[in-house]
Amino acid sequence: MNKAKPQPPRQDAARKGALRLIAGVRDGVALTEQSGALARLAPHERARAQRLALGVLRNIDRADTLLAQHLSKKPRPEVLDVLRLGAVELLEMGEAPHGVVNAAVGLMRSKGPKGRAAAAMVNAVLRKISAQGAEWATLPPEEMPDWLRGPVIAAWGEDVALSIETAHQNGAPVDLTSKPQAEAPGEALPTGSSRLRDAGQISALPGYVDGNWWVQDAAAALAVRWLEPKQGERIVDLCAAPGGKTLQIAAAGAEVTAVDISEARLVRLRENLDRCGLRAEVVAADALDWSPTAPPDAILLDAPCSATGTIRRHPDLPLIRDGSAIPALASLQERLIDRALGMLKPGGRLVFATCSLLTAEGEDQLAAALRRHPGLAVETPDLPGIAAGWITEGGGLRLRADYWPELGGMDGFFIARLRKP
């Protein structure tokens, strides 16, 4: 009778999942595109694997700085990933050295002859690393890549770049947007969102099953707050998925049409509409080709962009992108702005937004749109909770990751409201 094959320790299931995610990023695949890597894990293991992977990606250069002190040569990528994971667990997450080192050695031994040959080295290096907590605390935050850091310094200076990098290092809490008259758990933010420092399992939070709220960064929620949707208005949400802004517009009582080119991404939008008991017309189409049946009162255009404003929650982005797509994205944003203004009714309003730190995808786009469209007016933001320094000379709203440091930061965004003549 064949004996059952021994199963790996359950805690290693999460670590192995984290290593699969990290390896995927090494190959240029975003974390959001790797759902299959954790498909066989239990929910709690999946959550831990994601936390571990995010921890490593958020601290990869810092870990390498200390590891280099104990390595005569750079090990193979799969070995280096185990060392990085161990270093981050020890120094950033404060895990017990005995358990972390033993787990790392076990992971190496499970990788076949080459892994077993490296196990002793991993053991020795991580034991030394475990004593370097004081040095770890003095390391600077991860630097943004040159293609992003350069433009940020040009726009706001070296000190702001360092502050943004510190915010990226600190990660992101979970923000919630609630329906009118409903409550969301967490701390109330000045702009109307709620914030959870330690959210745990989202679906277990009070009000989730009842559809009282949805997850949405406070900065992203400001785009719809400045759109100011009203009861009965016809509003189009272009590039709508995954749908947080569509939910806001629908919850305000407007008749909203959500348009997105990706049918797959619209699945999540429909699920959230159903959970929250909200209604919207959902259309899978290219916004450059689609036309509404009648000119809408208002349009929200959250345009495709570099997503550089979301690095604090997506630390894999600097590792898989090189900035080469920025010119094409900026060109697409121009065409989408022109298309949106063309379908908007006279006197209607357009809110243009990008989750980007680059002025090429924000301030510069606003200035260019005004040059292309004589008579187009910018309306200066007037919203609860926003600081005067967030409003640009051109009348847009510039949000950065280093704002609200005492509250946990926010995503980087640019938002502008335009009035069609």
CATH number at residue 232: 3.40.50.150
Q: Do residues 412 and 347 both lie within one domain?
A: yes
Calpha distance 33→244 (Å, rounded): 20
Closest CA to 58 of 316, 340, 361: 316
Is the predicted pLDDT of residue 379 greater than 50, yes or no?
yes
Choosing from 93, 120, 138, the residue where a domain stops is: 138
Choosing from 92, 117, 138, the residue where a domain stops is: 138
Could you tell me where the DSSP H helices lie in 157-203?
Answer: 158-170
Is 276 catalytic? The answer is no
Q: Do residues 215 and 94 both lie within one domain?
A: no
pLDDT tens digits, 26-85: 999 999 999 899 999 998 899 999 999 999 999 999 999 999 999 999 999 999 999 999
Instruction: Give the domain range for residue 282.
Output: 174-419
Reported for 131-135, long-range contacts at CB under 8 A and 24+ positions apart, including other chains, are 132/66, 132/91, 133/90, 133/91, 135/66
Q: Do residues 81 and 219 both lie within one domain?
A: no
pLDDT, mean of residues 160-171: 97
Please state at what angle helix 10-26 crosses helix 77-91, rounded to 10 degrees. Answer: 120
Q: Do residues 196 and 75 both lie within one domain?
A: no
Q: Do residues 110 and 179 both lie within one domain?
A: no
For residue 147, being part of any structural domain is answered with no
Q: Do residues 216 and 112 both lie within one domain?
A: no
* Reported pTM: 0.93
- Give the chain's domain count: 2
For residue 231, being part of any structural domain is answered with yes
pLDDT, mean of residues 265-291: 96
Q: Which neighbouring-strand residues pair with 61?
A: none
The pLDDT value given to residue 198? 84
Query: Active site residue: 239, 276, 305, 355, which one?
Result: 355
For residue 156, being part of any structural domain is answered with no
For residue 106, being part of any structural domain is answered with yes
Q: Do residues 181 and 320 both lie within one domain?
A: yes
Three-class secondary structure of residue 388 per DSSP: helix
Q: Do residues 333 and 252 both lie within one domain?
A: yes
Q: Do residues 332 and 215 both lie within one domain?
A: yes
For residue 348, being part of any structural domain is answered with yes
The whole-chain average pLDDT of the chain stands at: 95
The pLDDT value given to residue 145? 97
pLDDT band for 9, please (50, 70, 90 cuts): very low
For residue 89, being part of any structural domain is answered with yes
For residue 337, being part of any structural domain is answered with yes
Q: Do residues 72 and 182 both lie within one domain?
A: no
Q: Do residues 133 and 209 both lie within one domain?
A: no
For residue 169, being part of any structural domain is answered with no
CATH number assigned to the domain comprising residue 93: 1.10.940.10
Choosing from 138, 162, 184, the residue where a domain stops is: 138
Q: Do residues 222 and 350 both lie within one domain?
A: yes
